[in-house]
Each structure stands twice: as C-alpha cells, then as structure tokens.
Structure 1
C-alpha cells in the first residue's frame, strides 16, 4: 500500500513498497502552484498520486521534474497535462530515444516483468531540459534542481529544499534496495552519494523505499565503496568478470545485488561490457529482473503481493 506522507509544511512524499517499478514521487505545494518530482510506472499509481495531491490542494501542477529517464520515473508524464516537464539534456535525449523504441521496450517489459501492469504508461519527451543547476522559487522557498551526472542513469538529478533540508534523490539513493550504478560509473555514483551527504539534510527521499536520514545515505555509500574496492582487487588479480562473480557468491549481500556493482565496476575498469556466460549479466532487463526477484524473496512473497495488489 502506498503512503502519502507530509515531511514538512506543504512538502510530501508519495511512498510505495521498495520494489522494482514501484517508485516514489515528491510533491511541493507553493503559494500559487505545485511542483511534482517524478511520474510513476502506470496510470493506477498516478491516479492515486493525483488523488492525494487534490486532497491537500487545488492549485495547478505547474512543473514535473524527472530525476532520470527510467520508465518508472517518466512513464506517466502525459498524465500531468498542465505541467511543464523538466529533466537534464541527457535525460531528455534518452527519453526521446526510448520513445522511438516504445514497441521494443513494451515487449521487453512484458517479457521480463509479466506480473507488473504497465497499463496507461508510455514514454513522453520532456518539455524543457537543463545542464548544471537551477532553482525554482515558490515565494521564499527555493527548490534547487541539481544535475549529478551519470551513475544510476545517464544523468541523475536530485531536488533539494535548503530551507526544509529535504532531498528528493531519485534512484541514486535506494533505501531497502542495493545501490544500482546501472550505467557503469561506480566511482561517479559514490561521488553522488558524497554530494548528498554534504547537504546534511534531515530527510532523504529515495527513488524506492522508505525515507531515510544522512546516516542511511552514508551507510549505502560505504557499502558501495567496499564493493567497488573488492571488485577492483579481483580485476587487478586478473580475474575475469565471471570469476569475480564466483568470488562474491556466498556473501551476506545476495549475489543478485552484488552483480550490478561488479558489472558496473568491470565496465568502468575496461570501458566496455565484459564477456560473460552469466545470463543475468547479459542485458539490462535480465539484470533488473534478477534484482526484482530477489527483492520479492527478501520481503516475503505473500506480503509483497498483498501490498502490490492494494497499490493498483
């Protein structure tokens, strides 16, 4: 079941179960209008989000900020017709490319995630893009929008409220999930965590999972650093990617979660996707599917399925 939680006066987080495709959103209500951070993966989820927004305000939604181009953060942009949709230049280019391959993406989602309902979702190219940092103002409140660069995605974005000390982190920070540096830039993802830590915010809203604190962000960054250094040791010993996978097997952290970091590390070390016989490492979708399956196991299938059914 989702939760619409007030974090500070007129600032809310729409929180869903910590699962792949069940992402979070942010809502910032100003004197004249509303800013939303990220759309969701299907129409039913977005209907719930819009219903909660209308429960607290009738002000127009003026801006929708996409933290990156992955479907669970942009797939219902079209359900915010009044809003100007904003993302980074790289994020807009990637969304545009995804739109051109909509049919292939839809087929891939249906193949790898048949249990999830993507109804009412589709790619829509953003209206505006930016590089660097800019701020929106709702009266005295600053809404700072920061491009972090490649890490989890092609160009991650964090939305920070300096006065309230609240950060909407997209998928750079994932509470209850492993770090997912999917674009092969582990060192840059670590740098993103350090920037988040420098805010010393009171609340960090992740792209998936419960809201966290500075301590939660630090713990996840330290975990990623340890994984990265261990992967580097394997690489420097001349171990192949598949040999590194076997070396990580049996750790406390399930291999499904380790795989993403090892793969991204080897991509960073060599500048290319490593040769591998591991089926889960051979495509982006199979990689995410393995993470999704492990999350269901960890959270308990029956309980997760109950939450998922209630959120539709």
Structure 2
C-alpha cells in the first residue's frame, strides 16, 4: 500500500466560486469548501472578514466587491491567525487590520511556524505564495468585544469562547441577525482542529446559538441562508467535534497509543463524515490534538512543517 499523499497535496481541482448576497450590507465569498471570506458594506466603507491565502487569490474577492460597491475597503478582520485565512491581507490595502488580543499573542508565538507549515500543507491555495509579503499583523486588537459603526450599520466584533483556536473572533450584524463565524462553524467541510480546544468548543457554539442568527457564513462551506440551515451548520460542527473527542477519550481511557486511537477514530467517524471536504486532510491533525488534550497538553502544541510530516508519516505512512 503506497503512503497517502501528505495533507492536501492530492487536492488539485479548482473550486467554483459563489458570491452570495445575504442583505444590502452582507456578502459571502465561498468556494466549495475552500476558506470563505465575508464582506460587510457600510454607509461609507467596506469590511472584509478573512482574506484568502495570498494577495493574488484576494484579487478575485476584490474584483467581486467592486461589482457591487466602489466604497473603500477600510477594515480587515482576522477570525483567527491561520495563514490560509490572513496572508492575503495586503491586497486590500486596509486602514486597519483587527484581531483579538489572543490572536495577536498566537501570531507572536507561532505565526512564523504556522505560515511555513500551512504553505506545505496546501499547495493549491498557496501556489502564488511569492505574492505574500510576510506575516499579517493587526493594527488594532480587542478583548471580549468591540463595536464598529459603518455609518448607521452596527458591526459587533466578538470573542465568545475558544474552539477552533484560542483567539476565535466572530463578526455579528445585530440589526440583520447575520453572523460570520470563522472556523467555529463549518458546513459540509471537516473542521480542522489541530489548534483547537475540544472541551470548550461546544459551549462556544452554544454562545453562537444564543445570538439567534438567521443567516451565517461558516469558515468553509456554503452560506447558511435560513435559521434551519444555521442550526444544521452549528449542530453538524458540534456533532463532529464532540464525537471525535469522545472517540479519542474512549481510546485513551483504555490505554491505547495515538496510532490505535487514530485508527479507532477514523473507523468511527468515516461513515458519517468521510464525504465532508478535507476529511482525510484534517483527521490526522484533529486526532493528534484531541489525544494531546485528553492526555497532557491543555494548550495546542505548535505545528511546524517538520512536526506535520513526522505526524503524517506516523499515522498515514
């Protein structure tokens, strides 16, 4: 049996882009399970939530924004620190790049290692990597919650708990009940949980549900355009995260090593989630992190390009 190709190296097919209008102020740029970008158009300025992986990829988002408005793109919000989300930021030439202070701390601690690691994992998304000028640093950070007024449009930028990372940030339009969740919610796409807090994630999803969003732009997957779809997206993410962590805890409780736990978790989750985008890519990272959290590492260990490959070889070699 030949070794499975590393991470997303087998994923070379171009994705079809959708640009969905959710309201007069909100749009979603989605691409069949590739990382999404949210757009908020206020009275006098535009905000972009998550930037695409490179400035070249960001140009396609800008082109679509320009089809609906000529207002300046003043703000970029980082839902978290992952390279695939933030390295396209320079293309927008924003006045401000906003992140939670926790995300700022993570960039300081592991931004450089994460950038090298993700570029190796996602060759298709980073094929124009030479256009990336370096790490994306926030110009403005907040703790808990901040509000921006884009004219009369209220935009809440909030941390409601840890899940996908320690720094997860959502953007909420309370007047329209539209939520941009970042990777706290995925739809038909496998949650990446290599830097996650499995114990916290379900409560954080409760906090999202409590907002009663009527529309939601997930981190990956199609826009959720009704309360029923929003519920399906949140509950699907919760089920995956909970079932994976339970499978790992069960293995740890019986003294199994990481390899055995991985095989057990794959067997348990594949029937229900195997058809979700990037399942085979995410599972080795997800199970490794869950195993760490269930044993001795409360906080996620830093992924380096080297650690990625060693882990992959151990579990999929």
TM-score when normalising by structure 2: 0.78
Distance in 1 of aligned mates of 2:85 and 2:122? 17
Q: C-alpha distance in 2, partners of 1:287/1:140? A: 50
CA, structure 1 residues 223+97, in 2 after alignment: closer, same or farther (shift >3 Å)?
closer
Q: Secondary structure at the match of 1:208?
A: coil
Secondary structure at the counterpart of residue 267 of structure 2: coil
Q: Distance in 2 between matches of 1:287 and 1:208?
A: 24
Map residues 1-312 of structure 1 onto 2, 5 A cutoff: 1-19=16-34, 23-97=35-109, 101=112, 105-106=115-116, 108-109=117-118, 111-115=120-124, 116-117=126-127, 118-121=129-132, 122-212=134-224, 213-251=230-268, 252=271, 253-254=273-274, 256=280, 257-272=282-297, 283-284=307-308
Q: CA deviation at 1:136?
A: 1.1
Asked whether the 8 Å contact 1:228–1:261 carries over to 2, the reply is no
- Partner-residue secondary structure (3-state), 1:225: helix
User: 1:134 is paired with a residue of what secondary structure?
Assistant: strand
Instruction: Output the CA distance in 1 between the equivalents of 2:121 and 2:241.
Output: 26
1:300 aligns with none
- Which structure has greater helix proportion? 1
Structure 1 residues 286, 11: closer, same or farther in 2, change over 3 A?
A: farther
Q: Contact 1:112/1:286 (CA < 8 Å) preserved in 2?
A: no
SS of equivalent residue, structure 2 residue 193? coil
Residue-pair matches, total: 278
Paired with 2:291 and 2:75, the residues of 1 have a C-alpha distance of 38
Shift of 1:109: 4.9
Deviation at 1:12?
0.7
Unaligned segments of structure 2, at least 5 residues: 1-15, 225-229, 299-304
Q: Distance in 2 between matches of 1:288 and 1:76?
A: 27
- SS of the aligned residue for 1:148 comes to coil
CA RMSD of aligned residues (A): 2.9
Answer yes or no: is the 8 Å Cα contact 2:165–2:195 preserved in 1.
yes
Q: State the TM-score, normalized to the length of structure 1.
A: 0.79
8 Å CA contact 1:4–1:12 kept in 2: the answer is: yes
